[in-house]
Amino acid sequence: MSSNRQWAVDIGVAVAVTALLIALVEASPNPMSVTGYTLMLTSSLSIALRRRFPVAVVLLCALCTVNVYILDGPDIPVEVPLLCALFSALRFGHRVIGIGTGVTYLLTMVVFNVFVLPGHPAREEIQDRILLLGWFVAAMVLGETARLREKRAEDQARNHEETLRRRAGEERLRIARELHDSLTHSISVIKVHAGVAIHLARKRGEEVPEALLAIQEASTDAVRELRETLSVLRGEPDTSGLDRLDDLVDRARSTGLPVQLTITGQQRPLPTEIDCAAYRIVQEALTNVTRHASAAAAAVHVEFGKRVLTLQIDDDGTATPDAPTVPGVGLIGMRERVTSLGGSLSAAPRKSGGFRVRAELPV
């Protein structure tokens, strides 16, 4: 139940109880004093706060009800607000205070009527208190039952979340095993063959093609990145950060793409999640430029602001302002990563041509 709805229900209960007591007072032949009337209204209206302040409300209701009896000795059930407060006190786990208040109130009423007020038959008064004790016990039992029911529902929800979390962990481990057994092996084979080809070319005194060197370096990076991904899938932290940005830019340059790196602002250590996300965003953006943009050059700008880390990756590729932007898996992943950290991401063609990725991460 939402907070606003709970508040509306509590106010409704308080108004209903207040209206009931006013009607009973008006119908009773015994009038109440102004002070007693005020105490009764205070008690009934205070139960609107019983969910937020259960202990304070139950003590206030008990005090007001006792004083109403001392002042007026009414013949109407002014204990109704106290019963509601007792229910809430038990429901929200304040069993000692709730039970203690209820028992103290009943004993106080018996002692007061039997030994203080003259002309009250002790047997009749005790019988009345025993009947009232039944209502008090019922209110406290209902409150305890409601508390146990809510606790059981919370335990079930918690167990369900733990089951889902365990299944997700098992699935991540399964994916990690599959990647390790298949993809890592394939990339390692590519790396080995590239290394053999480079070795033979040098042994024969031939010039090693740049494409072959790029394949060897890219496969080495791919194996390292894949191992880091497998570590993350196994629950180990991702150690990639902006301290490796120079290496990332150098790898992009080795593919033949001129990349200009600019860092402004006061560089400082960043939270691990922000640092890793920034590295991955630049990595994915440069990968997209290399694969899809047909660009002649790219520029990476990292700005360390006081509150925001800004990343901007521009290229001079074939994208035009009127061209529709169809987000691929890479852009979707970047947006999800940035959004989960409370940042913002924009990815769109530039007016002057080419493409721009801009991310702002709160630090």
Per-residue pLDDT tens digits for 125-169: 555 555 666 777 777 778 778 888 888 888 888 888 888 888 887
- Per-residue tokens: 140: 């406290």
Mean pLDDT of the 119-129 span? 52
CA torsion sign, 272 to 274 to 278 to 280? positive
Confidence of residue 344 (pLDDT cuts 50, 70, 90): very high
Cα 3 from Cα 85, distance rounded (Å):
19
The CATH number given to 242-362 is 3.30.565.10
Name residues whose C-beta falls within 8 Å of residue 69's C-beta, 6 or more positions apart in sequence: 78, 109, 112
Cα 4 from Cα 9, distance rounded (Å):
9
Q: Which residues are bridge partners to 299 per DSSP? A: 260, 314
Q: What are 285-321's pLDDT values in tens digits?
A: 888 887 766 778 889 999 999 899 999 999 888 777 6
- Burial status of residue 179 (CB atoms within 10 A of its CB: 0-12, 13-18, 19 or more): middle
Q: Are 244 and 209 in contact (CB under 8 A)?
A: no
Q: Which residue has the higher pLDDT, 322 or 89?
A: 89
Q: Show contacts of 165-172: CB within 8 Å, 24+ apart.
A: 169/235, 172/233, 172/234, 172/235
Cα 353 from Cα 169, distance rounded (Å):
44
Number of Cβ within a 10 Å radius of residue 223: 16
Cα 248 from Cα 209, distance rounded (Å):
22
Cα 84 from Cα 140, distance rounded (Å):
9
Is residue 37 helix, strand or coil?
A: helix
Report domain extents, the chain: 3-155, 183-233, 242-362
- DSSP letter string over 68-113? HHHHH--SS-TTHHHHHHHHHHHHTT-HHHHHHHHHHHHHHHHHII
pTM above 0.85, yes or no: no
pLDDT of 327 strictly over 70 = no
Q: What is the mean pLDDT of the chain?
A: 81
Range from 63-67, 72-76, 242-246 carrying the lowest mean pLDDT: 72-76
Q: Which contiguous run of DSSP H or E holds residue 301?
A: strand 298-304
239, 241, 247, 251 alpha-carbon torsion, rounded to 10°:
90
Angle at CA 278, nearest 5°, toward 272 and 282?
A: 150
Q: What are 187-199's pLDDT values in tens digits?
A: 777 878 888 888 8
298-304 and 308-315 beta bridge pairing: antiparallel
Q: What is the pLDDT of residue 238?
A: 66
Q: What is the pLDDT of residue 293?
A: 63
Cα 110 from Cα 6, distance rounded (Å):
36
